[in-house]
Structure 1
Amino acid sequence: MSSPINLQIKSLYEDFSPKEQAIATYILENPDKVAHSSISDLSTELGIADSTFFQFTKTLGYSGFKDFKLALLKQENDLSAVTIHENVQKDDSVLVMAEKVFDSNMKTLTDTRKLLKEADLNKAIKLISESRRLYFFGVGGSEIVATDAYHKFLRSPIPVGHSTDYHIQLMEASLLTQADCAILISHSGKSKETIHIAEAAKKAGAKIIVVTSQANSPLAKLGDVVFISISEEIEFRSEALASRIAQLSIIDSLFVILMFNNREQAQDTIAKVRSVILEIKEK
């Protein structure tokens, strides 16, 4: 498997059944024990049938438990890092809380970087570079990431668009064409609003780039290219705290690559933006 097993499990976790989530949690919390135990011992401890654990490994893409265990042994050192970052505790000092937030963000970036694939980056840049217009879509907390992306890509040679209003986003998506590209951001990948936007954009023929934390989410299945952001969030998972940092970094990466690939045009666009902003600052 090209991706570390712990990151693979996290990206699929929300789509697992309750039994599968119990197995996944056990693997994440006890990687060393799983790597050195038999399937019978593990199944007994979890109170499940051997076949249930076996089927779970097949869900992850392995031929069976032996294949999974071999891959786990190879990645044992990486998996042991899962338990390093604990949740913020009530008795933690404010400094310790802040340090844990920083640790979580840094681990999120490291984990997300491991999932980046050159083929995906090349394909996304090609779609963006060849698009007539590039639109950014996101709802709720993801709208903040979309706005940041729009603000950034205004400096690129590609015409861009973004609205903070959901209904306007939906209208914009419906007016896209085969010559356009849409980047949709959603932590869960299950936001009905964002899915509706993606469906409208796809129906219009636009190319779709998705940034999400859930690899098997409905939104991810609509993407021509999908980037996965991984985070350690547990208690505040729905708030997508650390994953936002990873999503911003994915967007930053696409922006930098695009600008370097179109250096002359990019320099001209940046010069125009800097010139008009400088005029305001000097008054």
Structure 2
Amino acid sequence: MVGRASVQSVSIQSVLQARLSTYPPTMKRVGELFLERPEMVVNSTTSELARICQTSGATIVRFCRALGFAGFPALKLQLAAELAKESAELAGTSIMRHGADISQSDSLDDMVSKISGSEILGIRETADSLDTRALGRAIQKILRSRRVLTFGVSASNVGAHDLATKLLRIGFTALNFQDSHEALASATLGEPKDVAIGFSHSGETRETVAFLAAARAAGAFTIAIVNLPESTLGTSADVTLRTAVRETTFRSGAMASRIAQLTLVDYLFVGVARGQYDRTVKALKSTYDIVKELRSGA
């Protein structure tokens, strides 16, 4: 597995959607066509693509190089292979291709297929692009931590809260914050043995960027969980763990990003649990037994 997402481990469409907002207008038009009509792109020449996007052949080449390809033929070959793979994976479902948006005419079966397809692919690509060395480093820092601080805004705080809850249950001091001011204040009081983990799909959420910056300034070890490693949050953290999902109009991408973040949370938690196996088993049994009496019918 690799440290940064590559076109080999994460689909061109997933990488492109994460980066699209950072491109200049001419390259953005090319990227939008890749996302909206990838089959057309595969069947186009460089000059045809340039004409459709109202740009130049040189812009198409720059676009391809920004994605890590020498030129359009190599990118087109990779995209064709990805579309064929997705078509095989989705055979027999109502989805023509991954990323197909939910429409008003969709049946409930269509809706379920599209959302599950988005989430399944997000989990797979997140796993494929995972840097296990970075994951291992994050796990070791958590194992040696004085306390763990987690924070994310809105949907991104779901994973942050889940990780803190899991760590608390096996004996770690883990704090999750719903309020950005409280998160920032706690991060400012951090120490070198603290670990601060910021969750943000875009990597540009101001509150989360400020939280991680304050923690790092205080000497804490910082971890970013983002969809775009090149984002402000991703480039400023000591360790970056990336998700790989695509957005759609009805936010099945946002749902997938939540699932992908929770997948990374599970990787972190199980990695920490393995690192202190006996203590974890004892803690899980103790916490299960103590709340068992509170369950209805126990």
Counting only pairs closer than 5 Å after superposition, residues 35-114 of structure 1 correspond to structure 2 as 35=42, 37-69=44-76, 71-72=78-79, 75=82, 77-78=84-85, 83-114=97-128
Q: Could you tell me which residue of structure 2 aligns to residue 162 of structure 1?
A: 176
Aligned partner of residue 151 in structure 2, secondary structure: strand
CA contact (8 A) 2:222 2:239 kept: yes
Q: 1:237 Cα deviation (Å)? A: 4.2
Q: 1:200 Cα deviation (Å)? A: 0.5
Identify the range of structure 1 (46-55 vs 115-124) with the bigger mean alpha-carbon deviation: 115-124
Q: Supply the distance in 2 between the matched residues of 1:48 and 1:259 (Cα, whole angstroms).
A: 53
Counting only pairs closer than 5 Å after superposition, residues 180-199 of structure 1 correspond to structure 2 as 180-199=194-213
Q: Could you tell me which residue of structure 1 aligns to residue 34 of structure 2?
A: 27
Q: 1:49 Cα deviation (Å)? A: 0.6
Q: Could you tell me which residue of structure 2 aligns to residue 17 of structure 1?
A: 24
Q: Supply the distance in 1 between the matched residues of 2:81 and 2:109 (Cα, whole angstroms).
A: 36
Q: Supply the distance in 2 between the matched residues of 1:24 and 1:86 (Cα, whole angstroms).
A: 16
Q: 1:121 Cα deviation (Å)? A: 1.8
Aligned partner of residue 248 in structure 1, secondary structure: helix
Q: Could you tell me which residue of structure 1 aligns to residue 163 of structure 2?
A: 149
Counting only pairs closer than 5 Å after superposition, residues 238-277 of structure 1 correspond to structure 2 as 240-277=254-291
Question: What TM-score does the superposition give when structure 2 sets the normalisation length?
Answer: 0.83
Q: Does 1:173 align with 2:187?
A: yes
Unaligned runs of 5+ in 2: 1-6, 91-95
Unaligned runs of 5+ in 1: none
Aligned residues: 283
Aligned partner of residue 154 in structure 1, secondary structure: helix
Match of 2:129 among 99, 110, 115: 115
Q: 1:266 Cα deviation (Å)? A: 1.1
Equivalent position amino acid for 2:238 in 1: D
Equivalent position amino acid for 1:230 in 2: A
Equivalent position amino acid for 2:188 in 1: S
Change (3 A) 1:112 1:42: same
Change (3 A) 1:64 1:98: closer
Q: Supply the distance in 2 between the matched residues of 1:93 and 1:224 (Cα, whole angstroms).
A: 45
Aligned partner of residue 211 in structure 1, secondary structure: strand
CA contact (8 A) 2:168 2:174 kept: yes
The RMSD of aligned alpha carbons is 2.6
Q: 1:71 Cα deviation (Å)? A: 4.5
Q: Percent identity?
A: 30
Aligned partner of residue 232 in structure 2, secondary structure: coil
Q: 1:253 Cα deviation (Å)? A: 1.5
Q: Supply the distance in 2 between the matched residues of 1:74 and 1:96 (Cα, whole angstroms).
A: 25
Equivalent position amino acid for 1:181 in 2: V
Change (3 A) 1:238 1:214: farther
